[in-house]
Amino acid sequence: MSVPEPRVEKLRRRFHLRLVWIVPIVAAIVGLTLMVHSWRERGPRVAITFESGEGLEVGKTLVKYRDVTIGRVSQITLSDDRTHVEVVADLVRSASDLAAEGAQFWVVRPRIGIGWASGLSTLLSGAYIGVEPGAGGGERRTHFVGLEIPPPLAHATRGRRIVLDAHDLGSLGAGSPIYFHRLQVGRVIDVHLDDNTGEAQVIVFIDAPHDKVVTPATRFWNASGVDLDLNADGLKVRTQSIATVLAGGIALADAPSGPDANVAGPGADFRLYRDEQSAMAPPDGEPHIIRMRFEKPLRGLAVGAPIEFIGVEIGMVTSIDVGYEPKTQHFPVFVTGKIYPRRMGLAYTTMLADGRPDTDDFLAVLTGQLVSHGLRAQPRSGNLLTGRLYLALDFVPSAGRVTFNPAARPVEVPTVESNMGELQAGIAHVVKKLEALPLDQVVNHLDQDLTDLHGTLGHVNDTLLPSATQTLGTMHEALESVDGLLTTDSAFRNDLEQTLGDVQQTLRSFRALADYLDRHPEALIKGRATERGLPETTAPANRDPNK
């Protein structure tokens, strides 16, 4: 058997020998394109330092801006001094502008407060790093210090940032709401101490369009908690909202007295008042210091006690010192007070009207004039129960002349004694009157009268009571015999019943007679007409007239 001969055909060029190399070339091109693409996509690599790496995971934790992923954490290391954590994140190219001067990074974790909650989506998905770009045009940076608390204002919120001066923060904190007519218009974004003044400063943010309500006349006050007010009108409870009661808050409104009212410290826009009342009060102006010397001890006068000028509270006691005079071995009491003459209102404005400046010198001159008209400081009892005193600046006509030193600083106000002295004198007078009463005599008479009364009562006991007992016994016997007479089977009762029966029968007969006579009146004269056939029953009737 021969092997079959294959047919030989014309040779063709074999392109596929080279063609196969297209496959790896295409693969290489695709691979290269991918590499170039991912290289082009790669943005800057930034390092952010945080206090802790809680919830952060390499390769999983994302960097997000406006909830869009712009990067991923690629490395988490401890700093050399082990005080913080350094998180390295790769950002995408389109977000490279974000990694510039002023950008803020923070870790978004679930945060829950009274009345608000944020980052709840991270409960399931895990924490991510939020970013807030700085103002445009900043220099590119690769190292950032992360914020521990998320910035309160995200993504360039429109509105107005206001700094408030505060003596007392109450329960305010970042996130506390701000109310205007009980409508939330903003929130506290930061609370810190001012480096210069040492006062607390509250930075608030009023969201647009509510920021228009803030004018120079606006007053801010702390609306934290519940405001209880018990006065002649009754009990008033004022709150903003339940959330405010728990978490604190600020309320704002326009002052009725106009824009020039608000006196805030340097660096602050407005002052934060303690409560609505003080916020709405007319401006206090500059405080002035006055000093008073009292010869008698002032028990019940405390620092903070009010100073009143003819009934208007214009200031308060700031210090109480005890002096000593070696010559006389005397201990006078020096009281220093802070007064706000502007609280006098119209009076002070009138006094200032001739353009004199509101200074200590002017106050001294004014005080001098008033003192010559009898102005004195007098401790008065504000509350009889607690014995608290307040200082009254009042005109005492009976006060003697004093010399006023207009050059003394602080301004010295002459004093008179406490009205407690007068009160005591009055009480002493009453006591003296009481003492003058002949109490001994009265008591003697009363004692004698009581002895007499005792004798009388003894007499009653001895004579009157036995005879009364006897009478009662007799009465008891009489009642018993009556009872015997009236029992069912007594003879008396039988007789009585029989007698009554007879009487009844008699009456019946009498009525029959009366009827007969009514019909036959002539019977009285003619006698009974039996022929007319009168009924038998009438027979007893004509017997009666014969009786």
Judged by CB under 8 A, the residue of 13, 15, 17, 547 near other proteins is 17
**Site stretch for other proteins (CB under 8 A), options 26-34, 335-343, 368-376, 408-416:** 26-34
3-state secondary structure of 307: strand
In order of 254, 364, 541, 547, the CA distances from 525 in angstroms are 123, 136, 15, 15
Q: What is the CA radius of gyration of the chain?
A: 56
Judged by CB under 8 A, the residue of 55, 113, 115, 126 near other proteins is 126
What residue has token string 């506390």?
Answer: 176
End-to-end CA distance of the chain: 195
State in angstroms the smallest separation of the CB of 124 from other proteins.
Answer: 5
**Site stretch for other proteins (CB under 8 A), options 2-10, 275-283, 340-348, 510-518:** 2-10
Please say which residue, 34 or 514, places its beta carbon nearer to other proteins. Answer: 34
State in angstroms the smallest separation of the CB of 129 from other proteins.
Answer: 14
State in angstroms the smallest separation of the CB of 271 from other proteins.
Answer: 47
State in angstroms the smallest separation of the CB of 77 from other proteins.
Answer: 20
CA distance 36 to 329: 99
Interface pattern 49-68 for other proteins (x via CB under 8 A): -----------x--------
Judged by CB under 8 A, the residue of 13, 15, 23, 181 near other proteins is 23
- At 368, list the tokens: 């001098």
What residue has token string 């029966």?
Answer: 501
Residue 443: HSE in the Cβ half-sphere, 13 Å Cα cutoff? 4
- Is residue 39 a contact residue for other proteins (CB under 8 A)? no
Q: Decide: 537 and 512 in contact? Cβ < 8 Å.
A: yes
Judged by CB under 8 A, the residue of 13, 24, 346, 386 near other proteins is 24
Amino acid sitting at position 292: M
- Is residue 15 a contact residue for other proteins (CB under 8 A)? no
Specify the length of the chain in residues.
547
State in angstroms the smallest separation of the CB of 48 from other proteins.
Answer: 20
Q: Which residues contact 138 (CB under 8 A, 6 or more apart)?
A: 100, 101, 102, 103
Please say which residue, 22 or 385, places its beta carbon nearer to other proteins. Answer: 22
**Site stretch for other proteins (CB under 8 A), options 19-27, 46-54, 147-155, 506-514:** 19-27
State in angstroms the smallest separation of the CB of 113 from other proteins.
Answer: 24
CA distance 202 to 168: 10
Instruction: Give the binding-site size for other proteins (rule: CB under 8 A).
Output: 24
**Site stretch for other proteins (CB under 8 A), options 124-132, 427-435, 440-448, 477-485:** 124-132
Amino acid sitting at position 201: Q
- Is residue 34 a contact residue for other proteins (CB under 8 A)? yes
Amino acid sitting at position 475: M
Q: Decide: 335 and 393 in contact? Cβ < 8 Å.
A: no
CA distance 520 to 248: 116
Which residues on adjacent β-strands are paired with residue 484? none
CA distance 253 to 245: 19
- Is residue 16 a contact residue for other proteins (CB under 8 A)? yes
Which residues on adjacent β-strands are paired with residue 253? 219
3-state secondary structure of 330: strand
- Is residue 37 a contact residue for other proteins (CB under 8 A)? no
Judged by CB under 8 A, the residue of 6, 311, 355, 455 near other proteins is 6
Judged by CB under 8 A, the residue of 125, 257, 505, 506 near other proteins is 125
- Is residue 40 a contact residue for other proteins (CB under 8 A)? no
State in angstroms the smallest separation of the CB of 255 from other proteins.
Answer: 52
Contact residues: other proteins, CB under 8 A: 3-9, 11, 14, 16-17, 20-21, 23-24, 27-28, 30-31, 34, 60, 124-126
